[in-house]
Amino acid sequence: MPRKPRMYLAGVPCHVVQRGNNRAACFFTDDDYAFYLEVLADACRRYGVHVHKKKGSVTNASYSQRAVQKGV
């Protein structure tokens, strides 16, 4: 059964999580993490999304979570 569509509201923060498959590492080197941040920043500029850097930002080798908000 497909997942129900998610609801996104302008101005309301959204919790975004990325995990490795079976909790495997997503970032193997510092360069991997730097590339991830570059791609994330580019996508945020392109789509007008703000990443809250102090609230809800956690990253380790196998997990990344961010609080993002559209229309800020």
- SS3 letters for the chain? CCCCCCCCCCCCCEEEEEECHHHCCCCCCHHHHHHHHHHHHHHHHHHCEEEECCCCCEEECCEEEEEEEECC
pLDDT band of residue 63 (cuts 50, 70, 90) is low
**Predicted confidence band of residue 55 (pLDDT cuts 50, 70, 90):** low
| Residue 66 belongs to some domain of the structure | yes
DSSP 62: T
Are 52 and 13 a contacting pair, CB within 8 Å? yes
Q: How many domains does the chain fold into?
A: 1
CA dihedral over 51, 52, 54, 55, signed as positive or negative? negative
Judge whether 1 lies within some domain: no
Give a yes or no: residue 3 inside a domain: no
Question: Average pLDDT for residues 25-35, to the nearest whole number?
Answer: 86
User: For residue 41, what are the domain limits?
Assistant: 14-70
Q: Mean pLDDT over residues 9-15, rounded?
A: 78
Average pLDDT of the residues in 45-58? 75
